[in-house]
Amino acid sequence: MATVIPFLILFPLVMACLMFVIRNNRVRGVAAYLGSVIVMIGVGVLVVQWFLAGAKPVELFIETEVADHVILASEIVLMVVVTCLCFKYKKYWISLLSIVPTLLIAYLELFGPEMEPTYHIYLDHLSILMCLIVGIIGGLIVIYAVGYMHGYAHHHSEFQDRRYYFFMLLFGFLGAMFGFVTSSSLLWIDLFWEVTSIISFLLIGYTKSSEAITNSFRALWMNLLGGTALAIAIAYYAYEAGTVTLQQLVFEGSVGSNIALLPVVLIAFAALTKSAQLPFSTWLLGAMVAPTPSSALLHSATMVKAGIYVLFRLAPALSGRTSGLMVAFVGGFTFLAASIMAIAQTDAKKVLAMSTIANLGLMVACAGVGTAETIWAGIFLMIFHAISKSMLFQDVGATENTLHTRDLEAFHGLIYRLPFLAMVQFIGIAGMFLAPFGMLISKWAALRASVDERNILLVFFIIFGSAITSLYWTKWMAKLLEQSRAPKVKDITKLNEKISLGIHAVMMIGVCLLFPLLSSSYVDPLLREMFGNAEQVLPTATLVVLIVIILIVFAVPAVSMAFGENTRTNIKPNYMNGINDGTDYGFISSYGEVQHMHVSNYYFAHVIGQRKLMLPSQILSTVVIIGMICVILGGVL
């Protein structure tokens, strides 16, 4: 393990350099395949070694003076890069959000108090789970990206083809995420936190269009704001406690130490920005202008999970405290508000973005409550969300390349027109809002825990948010299964894209089948590590029954396609208040003009759309966050 972890951090960085150097698309594609496979193998080796060592928390690397200097130098380089870009695009004030925290961390390391020797790498069930998500899901997305970006460059010739740059950022992100989830030192975490924020910024601005530039800088300042809060928390805790170990901070916070109170709330605030919670959700929505692989990798499956990961770490310190109440409220309110706004979206990618924000909100709420039961629910929410959203983003990207649109209304009857892509979409959607991800298990566990904690607002948020979630997912599923007169379309999805989508679909079904085993053999030990003692949340027999239900649901699209496609029908022309124009899609009015028929779902865009609800939601959540932080500061001071 002492060699595998540095390999997982450094190897993707080496691959990133190779991606930038190799300008031949075919050669770079082969190298990307090999690099992705090696990363996945490396994660597998790490997991095997950890289980053979007893599957217990492992602490590594106490003497790391050289690495600490490299970390500090890297932070300074990042600060210079961000400052130069901010001045280039005349976003001067944003550079301060990079300069101030970097100088603070540099002062702490060079002139701050003497730190007691401690370990810098920490492995337990939670960090191993994150390594699996980053390595396997991330590797598959890179494989998918090779074929997708070929089609993207062909269909978007108005943008400069910079695939070498794109793949460099993807691999660099993987290395940063491995460093982030395995680090115990808050100083190391701070660097990897900044790297993921800056790579996200660069990917969002990949096309260099005015919209992409605007959205990328919005994402940058929001994430750097969280990074500033993180740096202040690290400096404060270092001076007060003489250590910068995350596990020590969580322990002191869980026993009610006043020293940990302010750092915990500042780091929790930073996590809210990274996980795109209100009022910071707009950066994730703007990130959808980036090519689909970056949406799948950074903005749904992995990067936003960095904030969730940190909140899960802090859960014992948040439980029963004002900081936890703040986090739970923001998460629950984001879940409800984003779910409502998702109904009004017709763009499939925006539906996925809104639902991502909503489901991240539910995970944040679970962390804020901070009990073993809610963390159990949150862990499974994270697992299924990572697989499902990665799969759905990839599928929507492939569908867009084939249909040249992401409009949900164009997805009607897709099960007959593009069977493979529609089947994968159906599996992903079923995994998102049915058992075991949604209403029947995870949300139920979160709801029960909220009732036990007498958190009435959170109960309200979960009940109504879950009902609304069911609405927009059911509407999408029904579109896929709708009988369609539209002609079949040639599926131009490349083989490597289908391989990635197929593996995701198999993983989704496999995790459903293994749900009881995962709960008893992995998640329950994880909870015992965090809370010392944790009872089984659901009886095994109940889990088995629910798994049977979801597998039956997964069979619906196959049965629909098998029986619906060959069913004999006697379709009559539509009567449209006039003479049919011969196409059955229009009629001649009394004025002799052809009127075209248009049938679609109603999306309530003028009532509950993003333009109507986003600003009021941001104002409310901002007031709550500021109010709670003031209360906490009053207690500290």
Identify the CA nearest to 527 among candidates 411, 370, 332.
Answer: 370
Identify the CA nearest to 387 among candidates 507, 307, 496.
Answer: 507
CB 261 within 8 A of CB 305: no
The pLDDT assigned to 440 comes to 53
Identify the CA nearest to 290 among candidates 408, 139, 169, 130.
Answer: 169
Confidence of residue 67 (pLDDT cuts 50, 70, 90): confident
How does pLDDT run across 303-338, given as a tens digit for each residue?
788 899 999 999 999 988 889 989 999 999 999 999
CB 270 within 8 A of CB 310: yes
The pLDDT assigned to 523 comes to 87
Which of 271-275, 296-300, 514-518 is least confident?
296-300
Is the predicted pLDDT of residue 550 greater than 90, yes or no? no
How does pLDDT run across 445-478, given as a tens digit for each residue?
666 666 666 777 888 888 888 888 888 888 888 8
User: pTM to 2 decimals?
Assistant: 0.91
Which of 144-153, 177-186, 551-560, 599-608 is least confident?
551-560
How does pLDDT run across 209-226, given as a tens digit for each residue?
999 999 999 999 999 999
Query: Between these two residues, 464 and 33, which has the higher pLDDT value?
Result: 33
CB 105 within 8 A of CB 75: yes
Q: What is the mean pLDDT of residues 141-152?
A: 89
Confidence of residue 437 (pLDDT cuts 50, 70, 90): very low
- Mean pLDDT over all residues of the chain? 85
The pLDDT assigned to 450 comes to 66
d(CA 332, CA 447): 11
How does pLDDT run across 567-594, given as a tens digit for each residue?
565 656 666 666 776 666 677 777 777 7
Query: Between these two residues, 371 and 41, which has the higher pLDDT value?
Result: 41
Query: Between these two residues, 160 and 590, which has the higher pLDDT value?
Result: 160
Identify the CA nearest to 65 among candidates 143, 140, 120.
Answer: 120
How does pLDDT run across 475-527, given as a tens digit for each residue?
888 888 876 666 678 888 888 889 989 998 899 888 877 877 888 888 888 98
The pLDDT assigned to 434 comes to 59
How does pLDDT run across 248-269, given as a tens digit for each residue?
999 898 887 888 889 999 999 9
**Amino acid residing at 418:** L
CB 484 within 8 A of CB 403: no
The pLDDT assigned to 445 comes to 64
The three-state DSSP-derived secondary structure of 79-146 is HHHHHHHHHHCCCHHHHHHHHHHHHHHHHHHHHCCCCCCCCCEEECHHHHHHHHHHHHHHHHHHHHHH
Residue whose tokens read 């027999």:
541
Highest mean pLDDT among 270-279, 387-396, 512-521: 270-279
The pLDDT assigned to 214 comes to 93
Residues sharing a CB contact under 8 Å with residue 287, sequence separation 6 or more, in sequence order: 200, 203, 204, 215, 219, 294, 295, 298, 299, 353
Is the predicted pLDDT of residue 184 greater than 80, yes or no? yes
DSSP characters for 451-515? HHTT-HHHHHHHHHHHHHHHHHHHHHHHHHHS---SPP------HHHHHHHHHHHHHHHHHHHTH
Is the predicted pLDDT of residue 435 greater than 60, yes or no? no
Token pair belonging to 236: 């404060």
Is the predicted pLDDT of residue 64 greater than 90, yes or no? no
End-to-end CA distance of the chain: 43
The pLDDT assigned to 5 comes to 92
Identify the CA nearest to 301 among candidates 167, 174, 480, 439.
Answer: 174
- Phi, psi (rounded to 5 degrees) for 205: -90, 20
The three-state DSSP-derived secondary structure of 202-215 is HHHCCCCCHHHHHH
Which of 185-194, 524-533, 573-582 is least confident?
573-582
Confidence of residue 133 (pLDDT cuts 50, 70, 90): very high
Coil vs helix vs strand at 608: helix
CB 6 within 8 A of CB 142: no
Query: Between these two residues, 440 and 356, which has the higher pLDDT value?
Result: 356
Residues sharing a CB contact under 8 Å with residue 111, sequence separation 6 or more, in sequence order: none
Residues paired with residue 347 on neighbouring β-strands, in sequence order: 407
d(CA 152, CA 337): 33
How does pLDDT run across 398-425, given as a tens digit for each residue?
898 888 888 888 888 888 888 899 889 9
Query: Between these two residues, 577 and 349, which has the higher pLDDT value?
Result: 349
Residues sharing a CB contact under 8 Å with residue 509, sequence separation 6 or more, in sequence order: 427, 551, 554
How large is the angle between the packed helices 258-274 and 610-636, nearest 10 degrees? 170
CB 333 within 8 A of CB 281: no
Q: What is the mean pLDDT of residues 538-553?
A: 64
The pLDDT assigned to 346 comes to 87
- Answer positive or negative: Cα dihedral of 157, 162, 164, 166: negative
Which of 104-113, 205-214, 527-536 is least confident?
527-536
SS3 content of the chain, % helix, strand, coil (to 5): 75, 5, 20
DSSP characters for 415-463? HHHSHHHHHHHHHHHHHHHSTTTSTTTHHHHHHHHHHHTT-HHHHHHHH
Confidence of residue 538 (pLDDT cuts 50, 70, 90): low
Coil vs helix vs strand at 377: helix
Q: What is the mean pLDDT of residues 124-140?
A: 92
Token pair belonging to 466: 């879950």
